Structure 1
Amino acid sequence: MKASGLRDQGLTLREKRRLGLFAIAGLFGAPGAWLLQVILSETVSAEGCYSVSKPHAEPALPHLHGWLYGIGILAMLTAILCAAAAVYGFALLAGRERRAKARHVGEGSDPIPWRAREEERRKRFVALCSALIGCGFVVSLLFTGAAGLFVGTCSFWH
């Protein structure tokens, strides 16, 4: 039985593409959501709290805190979806690998060629990195959002 590890796992071209999208979501979607949240929040805060050379006593924009919370919530939802997709991709690969190993436990020799095993390991490594990065940026969005709760809308950061 000379099948590659991916065929042995039953990955179709569509599944490979989907796993690639899951990895991209975790590697770029969650960090992108955090970066956009920081950029937008800082820009909106700067416009609402500062004139050219001196800070305002209170926000110039009505409902500034609502805008900031809204931006944070949208970023958090986006990051959670991206991280969940990345974790799902990793779990899908890990589960298929466990099932493939369980099928070949009784056989004497390893039916999966060396190159196919290396390809599996690379895909699993990328999926793991994607899941960890996605979840890490969800945590960073929690901390960034918590800063808005503890510091006033137009207060100074010391």
Structure 2
Amino acid sequence: MMKILYDANVVVDIFGKSEDFFHSYISYDVALTKGFVPYATVSSVSDIVYVLAARKYLSKRQARSSIAGLMEMFDLLDALPADCKRANESDMDDFEDALIAYAAERNGIDFIITRNKKDFLKSPVPALTPKEFVAIYKPECLEYEMVDS
């Protein structure tokens, strides 16, 4: 069974219905359709809640309430001291991204889905954008269409 880790920016797209919602949500839907297990990291939950409120996608109260939905949609991965050490010693420029990458590796994650793929070039786990993930894994029988709300 394939394990997919969603970076905080993709989760924010989904919960905040941002301009990148369409592709981010489709990547999640395709993962579920294929029977893949979607994950997020515990360390990214506070960032997700903060960004949802700071960008005014949701009120502070709504952003905080979104944690329950996030835990229903995604299994949560922890980060251990060993992940911190490896992240600190890695060649990845951003510590937070490195921490996510090494926690993902330890947990047997197959892909990280992110809009900032360049941040994961030196990751031990390959990264795909939501569009790339959909292009590779979307069943031919599925079609998605953007609907105006």
What range describes the TM-score normalised by the shorter chain of this pair? under 0.3
* TM-score computed with the length of structure 2 as normaliser: 0.22
Structure having greater relative contact order (Cα 8 Å, sep ≥ 6): 1
* TM-score computed with the length of structure 1 as normaliser: 0.21
Which structure has the bigger radius of gyration? 1
Q: Whose helix proportion is higher, 1 or 2?
A: 1
